[in-house]
Amino acid sequence: MTIEYRQFTPAEYRRFATAIDRGFGGHYEPGRDQYELDRKSFKPEMSMGAFDGDEVVGTSGAIAFESAVPGGAIIKNAGVTAVTVATTHRRQGVLTNMMKRLLKQERAKGQPVASLWASESIIYGRFGYGMSIQHENFLIDTRKAAIKHMPEVPGKIRFVDPSEARKQVPVAWEAAVNANVGIPRRGSLSWDRMFGDLSAGDGWGKPFIVVYEEGDKALGFALYKLKELHVFGEQMHGLVNADMVIHSNAASHVALWNHLLNIDLYDTLSTWRSPSDDSLPWMLADQRQLERKPYDGVWYRILDIAEALSTRTYLAEGSLVLEVEDSFIPEWGGRFELVGGPDGATCVATTKPADITIPTASLSTIYLGGAKLADLERAGRVEENTDGSIALADAMFSTVRAPWCPLMF
């Protein structure tokens, strides 16, 4: 039977949600507390599915995000999520056909970029995605780790209960959005889901939430859980899992980490989704007490080259002609002249000779400033046609801070 690709209808929501959960190894339970939030947050118009008759054999969707790009502009960003293909329909082109329709659907909505967390990192490069935001996992022995260097901290840390956190945490998150590149804004449904999921499980206790404030404004927060592994009378041993450490300035960053490193009776601290340029290692008395594991975080896919490149600013003044090769959706590629600097940029189609030939995936990789084009050239992922153009591109696309996206979606 021919596979049909389309959005699901409201009447098909349960079958679509069942297919999503099955694709990630779970069983959909419509009776659970989050059911109504699921239906409100995952709407038909954001979806793209594959249907074999009445059977849902492929799912995908895109959350309508807004996030900052270098220079501080807030752009639309299609947060791709819930991508699955039924095991009964693998290697039949379902994912390719579904992804192409989803990307075209989101570009038609005016989204210049798309982003996603890749469950399998080998999948999305062929669709024009590039690994754009790298993160690190941290593991620290807090008995030996101590902060030696720190900036001035004018604010204070305090515990908040879930009801107060529901008011303060979104304020701190928005401060982080405005201070960083890549963090999506979150609406009330997103916060309702997060606070609805705060519960103990897998041997961990209920979470603690601390907020960093300067005056009356929350500028950062940390959410963490504890697990006791020690027995009274024996050597203490316990784990701290800091699921979120969200900061918007140097003071909020060091204040939150100083709190986490000084929790009594728990000697091991783990966290993930830390930015790749986190300054914690430089604050510690002994960097060797911090184990760091880098990994690919968020993948970006440029949907509209002219709009995406003209919206951000550039660290250095320059002009480049880029030949962008889009093997997945060829009509989105072409030759573009980029003229930009710290005060703004323009990017338009041109017939001028190309300085650089670059695939869409590689352009997406450097878009937020999280990678060097010279590194991609040495890897054979970009071609320099005009001497010095790669160096100029790196001077332009570089950013003072690495991009960061602590939100899973």
Q: Measured between alpha carbons, how far is residue 250 from residues 215, 256, 268, 287, 390 in Å? A: 16, 10, 24, 19, 32
Q: What pairing do the DSSP bridges indicate for beta strands 74-85 and 334-341?
A: unpaired
65, 124, 212, 221: the active-site residue: 124
**Nearest residue to 49 (alpha-carbon basis) of 11, 6, 85:** 6
The reply to whether 409 belongs to the active site is yes
Neighbouring C-beta atoms of residue 357, cutoff 10 Å: 15
The reply to whether 129 belongs to the active site is no
DSSP string spanning 77-120?
EEEEEEEEE-GGGTTSSHHHHHHHHHHHHHHHTT-SEEEEE-SS
**Nearest residue to 137 (alpha-carbon basis) of 288, 292, 299, 297:** 292
Q: Measured between alpha carbons, how far is residue 23 from residues 83, 85, 89 in Å? A: 8, 7, 12
5, 35, 208, 409: the active-site residue: 409
388 Cβ neighbours under 8 A, 6+ residues apart:
none
Q: What tokens appear for 85 in the block?
A: 């293909």
- E strands, 204-305, are 208-214, 217-228, 238-247, 268-275, 290-302
Q: Measured between alpha carbons, how far is residue 389 from residues 315, 320, 321, 323, 356 in Å? A: 15, 7, 9, 12, 7
Distance CA 317, CA 40 (A): 45
**Nearest residue to 248 (alpha-carbon basis) of 326, 314, 170:** 170
Residues carrying an active site annotation = 124, 409
